[in-house]
Amino acid sequence: MTVIIEAKPYPYLLSAKKPCLLVIDMQRDFIEPGGFGDALGNDVSRLSAIIPTVKKLIYGFRQLHLPIVHTRECHKADLSDCPPSKLNRGGSTLKIGDSGPMGRILIDGEPGNALIDELRPLPGELEITKPGKGSFYNTDLHIHLQNLQVSHLIIAGVTTEVCVQTTMREANDRGYECLLVEDATESYFAEFKRATLDMIVAQGGIVGWVANCEKTLKGLEQAYGQ
Ligand code: TIU
């Protein structure tokens, strides 16, 4: 069976192994006021526009019984997994670990660190906590994907040029065929999102593919639907 998704820079083919949806850091810290994104000086309101599209992708994968992995950027309460370089970067008033309106900033288990209500994982869907921007750094993601026999990653989430792009490059180097869903990812900077999408597909898809949600789900439904 071959699945074809109409994508840039050329059709994305899926065969043999399973595709997995990787939803990156759709957590309150980046999407709601009072979190880490806000503390860094960003206009966080830009990011909520993609929530319905990410929801559509998640529902599509659930209906097709395909695996979904959610990630969440966070640190341990004692900050032992947060390098001083990350802690001190940016010079903002509220730093990682400080108390903000949604609890301690970017700390595992705090209210602001939760995935947003609309995209809460279902039992059986993996939720990976990650201390870095890339989802493979200091996590068990690769081993989980290998156990699931996943070779293709369909990627969504925030922010496009930070955690999403870092993860996609890490995945590409580990041999995964990656497709970024362009209307299911967003940045605090419109021009950085545009540039990231361009960088991914340049040079014959040096990092992978880009397609919209509709085309992605259409290809998957044709192959895996009943
Ligand atoms: N600051 C920013 O754009 N992003 C992050 O710090 N983390 C993620 O992208 N998730």
The predicted-structure confidence for 64-84, as pLDDT tens digits, reads as follows 999 999 999 999 999 999 999
Residue nearest to atom 7 of ligand 1 (CA): 163
Catalytic machinery residues: 25, 130, 163
Contact (Cβ atoms closer than 8 angstroms) between residue 158 and residue 42: no
Q: For residue 167, which phi and psi values (nearest 5 degrees)?
A: -65, -40
- 225/219 Cα distance (integer angstroms): 10
Q: Is the CB of 159 under 6 A from ligand 1?
A: yes
Q: What is the mean pLDDT of the chain?
A: 95
Residue 15 reports pLDDT greater than 90: no
Q: Is the CB of 162 under 6 A from ligand 1?
A: yes
Distance 152 CA to ligand 1 centre (A): 23
Residue 184 reports pLDDT greater than 90: yes
Residue 1 reports pLDDT greater than 80: no
Output 18 or 76, whichever has higher pLDDT. 76
Ligand 1 atom with the shortest distance to the CA of 40: 1
Confidence of residue 10 (pLDDT cuts 50, 70, 90): very high
33 Cβ partners below 8 Å, 6+ apart?
44, 101
- 102/112 Cα distance (integer angstroms): 5
124 Cα distance to chain centroid? 18
Fill in the amino acid letter for 224: Y
What is the reported pLDDT for 16?
60
- Predicted TM-score (pTM) of this structure: 0.97
Vertex 93: Cα angle to 89 and 98 (nearest 5): 85
Distance 139 CA to ligand 1 centre (A): 17
* Nearest C-alpha neighbor of 128 from the set 100, 148, 99, 98: 148
Residue 3 reports pLDDT greater than 80: no
Vertex 17: Cα angle to 14 and 19 (nearest 5): 60
Give mean pLDDT, residues 216-221: 94
- Please tell me whether residue 26 adopts helix, strand or coil conformation: coil
Residue 44 reports pLDDT greater than 80: yes
Q: Is the CB of 158 under 6 A from ligand 1?
A: yes
Q: Is the CB of 30 under 6 A from ligand 1?
A: yes
Structure tokens at 83: 């390098």
Residue 210 Ramachandran class (φ > 0 left, ψ -120 to 50 alpha, else beta): beta
Q: Is the CB of 165 under 6 A from ligand 1?
A: no
- When computed from its CA atoms, the radius of gyration of the chain, rounded to whole angstroms, is 17
